[in-house]
Amino acid sequence: MPICDFLLLELDQEFKKTRTTLERIPADKKDFAPHAKSMPLGKLAPHVAQLPVFGLTVLTTPELDFSKGSFKPLQFESAAQLVQAFDEGAAKVRSALQAASDETWQQNWKLSFQGKTVFEGNRFLAYRGMFLNHLIHHRAQLGVYLRLNGKPVPATYGPSADDTMGF
């Protein structure tokens, strides 16, 4: 079985959980942050919604220098807008993942900013660490933001206090 087949199973599960989280983001709490050093909800939620585009970059390019890109952060308008952006990016990265050969995972991938290396390693580590784990990390942060704003936290790896998933 090709590596991408295993990764597609995982990606689909993580995307489903992330989509559910984005559906619950309150549009009236854009400025909320649990701490002065925390990213406001109005920046964190769009960042999560756009992370699949980063995954696509990892799968389809040999490197990325953030200082040379033309990336435009999504401006938060509504949960529906976040979900739409997420779904569009998710479809693209899923398609790129389906097309990835086993040899793809051994290729080098590099992330830098103004010529300084942030990450350099094989594409598999970039995909898992820089993209998928990154997505999961920020989704968990959104769960805390939801909890602190009295919004229901979706189940992720088992039931939550708000969503028992039939348990």
CATH number of the structural domain spanning residue 39: 1.20.120.450
On the 0-12 / 13-18 / 19+ scale of CB atoms within 10 A, 154 is buried
- Which structural domain range is residue 138 located in? 3-148
Q: Is residue 167 part of a domain?
A: no
Q: How many domains does the chain fold into?
A: 1
pLDDT at 130: 95
pLDDT at 163: 85
Q: Is residue 85 part of a domain?
A: yes
Kindly report the pTM of this predicted structure. Answer: 0.95
118, pLDDT greater than 90: yes
pLDDT at 60: 97
Percent of the chain with pLDDT over 70: 98
C-alpha span between 164 and 59 (Å, rounded): 35
Three-state secondary structure call for residue 119: strand
pLDDT at 166: 57
Q: Is residue 164 part of a domain?
A: no
C-alpha span between 76 and 48 (Å, rounded): 11
Q: Is residue 46 part of a domain?
A: yes
Q: Write b or e for each residue in 13-27: b if 16 or more Cβ atoms lie within 10 A of its Cβ, otherwise e.
A: ebbebbbbbbebbbe
Q: Is residue 12 part of a domain?
A: yes
HSE, CB side, 13 Å, CA atoms: give it for residue 63. 16
What is the per-residue pLDDT across 25-62, written as a single tens digit (0 to 9) for each? 999 999 999 999 999 999 999 999 999 999 999 999 99
- CA-angle at 68, arms to 65 and 73, nearest 5°: 90
17, 139 Cβ separation under 8 angstroms: yes
Per-residue pLDDT, averaged over 52-75, amounts to 93
pLDDT at 120: 97
| Residue 75: Cβ within 10 Å count | 10
Closest CA relative to residue 51, chosen from 99, 8, 90 = 90
Q: Is residue 55 part of a domain?
A: yes
| Residue 52: Cβ within 10 Å count | 25
Decide which of 50 and 166 is more confident.
Answer: 50
Q: Is residue 156 part of a domain?
A: no
Give the tokens for residue 8. Answer: 């597609």
Per-residue pLDDT, averaged over 65-93, amounts to 94
C-alpha span between 159 and 142 (Å, rounded): 16
Q: Is residue 160 part of a domain?
A: no
